[in-house]
Amino acid sequence: MQDVLSMTYLWLKAGHIIFVVFWMAGLFMLPRQMIYCLDTAPGSAEEAKWAHRMGKLRSIILTPSLIVVWILGIALAAAIGAWSEPWLHAKLAIVLALSGYHGWMVAQAKKMGRGERPLSEKQLRMWGEVPGIALALIVVLVVVRPF
């Protein structure tokens, strides 16, 4: 029985890591696509192409990956009984903030798809660094478990 539980944990962990990679890739790509969209004229065919690409990124990669990451992450925490661990609380706070960032960036991308320009190129470049910083903090919390 212990072997079955051990294998289930490993599959959950593998799935969680895979979908975190997909989610992070999408979060890195979205601001870049938004920067490309900035260079197009509102209402142009090229803007429509970028809006379509951003929509596909959101619907095929970003949102499904976010959902799977949360489901598998909760399952992993339950499997190892980590709910009282301070490192997990810190990780969950960062993942919750990153989920909020995801939602905010999706809203900004939808505005851009409608011809609005809510963020400048410089702002998009700066906001594009958020996933990398969050990822580094999360990896340290999970691997090192500093507290």
Query: Residues annotated in the binding site for heme, as ranges?
Result: 16, 91
d(CA 123, CA 146): 32
What is d(CA 45, CA 58) in angstroms, rounded to the nearest whole number?
A: 20
Rounded CA-CA distance 87/122 in Å is 33
16 vs 82: CA distance, rounded Å: 16
Known binding residues are 16, 91
Task: Supply 56's token pair.
Answer: 């596909």
Q: Give, rounded to a whole angstrom, the gap between the first and last alpha carbons of the chain.
A: 31
3-state secondary structure of 143: helix
